[in-house]
Amino acid sequence: MGKVFYILSNGKLSRKENTLYFENENVKKSIPIETVDEIFVLSEITLNTKLIKFLSQAGVCIHFFNYYGYYVGSFYPRETQVSGHLCIKQAEHYLDKEKRLYLAKAFVMGAIINLSQVYKIDPEENLNRLSKAESIEEIMSVEADFRKKCYEKLEEITGFEFEKRTKRPPGNPLNALISFGNSLVYAKVLGEIYYTPLNPTISYLHEPSTKRFSLSLDIAEVFKPILSDKLIIKLLKSGKITEEHFKKDLASAYLNDEGRKIFISEFDKLLEETVKHKKLKRKVSHRTLIRLELYKLIKHLLGEEVYIPLNYGSL
């Protein structure tokens, strides 16, 4: 695997011979294309079609975030791992109500189990409700109710006010961190999907749409507790991020430049951090865990193995 490259400063990204080249008033940097898997752009940059063609040839996804840290879209190169057979199976599992419900419940089960370990909340009541749910709406309601418990605990743990979940714009620092962390996880999952034959637009918990890669939203549910919630708690409790790292007005709050740099740095470290995988009997990175989860889903769709979501605490 190559690295994830983050652009946090305004400038120009271009192709220079067979190398990526970033420059602005203060920086001139060459980045060997073979060392890059994905690019996250969290600033204003200029680029041209020559660069896009270069990224496409190299199979490098580039994700764009706006000034406030919202994910706005990705350049997703032409897929090279395509499988018509798998695409048909993905569609079959969406069109069959029982098959779709199983996967939707599985993603939410993974979210609840992993959240329960982060926040030390008993998940049994919500898992029981989940098992009896008969529609996507009911499943999402169960998840929302458990999330509400987690947000109350997050407020208690960090000492930051939460009040209620607000997104566009986030109403306070906790909401800003949640939105930013979740956006990063969503984009990272999408980047990993690119390296598999899965179609990123066919999903089960979230409704497929012409405007988004909704499968990323499904898989991200399993990983947001690990890569977003857990990181937010760590950054606030350690004092690495404080009230001083936010820009605020009467109705919104956003991470400032320094705050985003700190969050991105810790997020990248977490992606590369390894854990012992009991089944594989070796250490794997959190980034690899995402790829493994995707291949578990592929095996389920092909009828080779029933999909069981990642239980991070059982690794």
Identical topology for domains 3-65 and 84-314: no
Domains of the chain by residue range: 3-65, 84-314
Per DSSP, the residues of the chain read --EEEEE-S-EEEEEETTEEEEE-SS-EEEEEGGGEEEEEE-S-EE--HHHHHHHHHHT-EEEEE-TTS-EEEEE-PPPSS--HHHHHHHHHHHHSHHHHHHHHHHHHHHHHHHHHHHHT---HHHHHHHHH--SHHHHHHHHHHHHHHHHHHHHHHH-----S---SS--SHHHHHHHHHHHHHHHHHHHHHTTSS--TT--SSSPPBTTB-HHHHHHHHHHHIIIIIHHHHHHHHHTSS-GGGEEE-SS-EEE-HHHHHHHHHHHHHHHH-EEEETTTTEEEEHHHHHHHHHHHHHHHHTTSS------GGG-
The pTM is what? 0.92
Q: Is CATH 3.30.2010.10 correct for 84-314?
A: no
Q: Is CATH 3.40.50.300 correct for 3-65?
A: no
pLDDT in tens, the chain (315 residues): 678 999 999 999 999 888 999 999 988 999 899 999 999 999 999 999 999 999 999 999 999 998 777 888 898 887 777 789 999 999 999 999 999 999 999 999 999 999 999 999 999 999 999 999 999 999 999 999 999 999 999 999 998 887 777 776 787 889 899 999 999 999 999 999 999 999 999 999 998 876 678 999 999 999 999 999 999 999 999 999 999 998 887 678 889 999 999 999 999 999 999 999 888 889 999 999 999 999 999 999 999 999 999 999 988
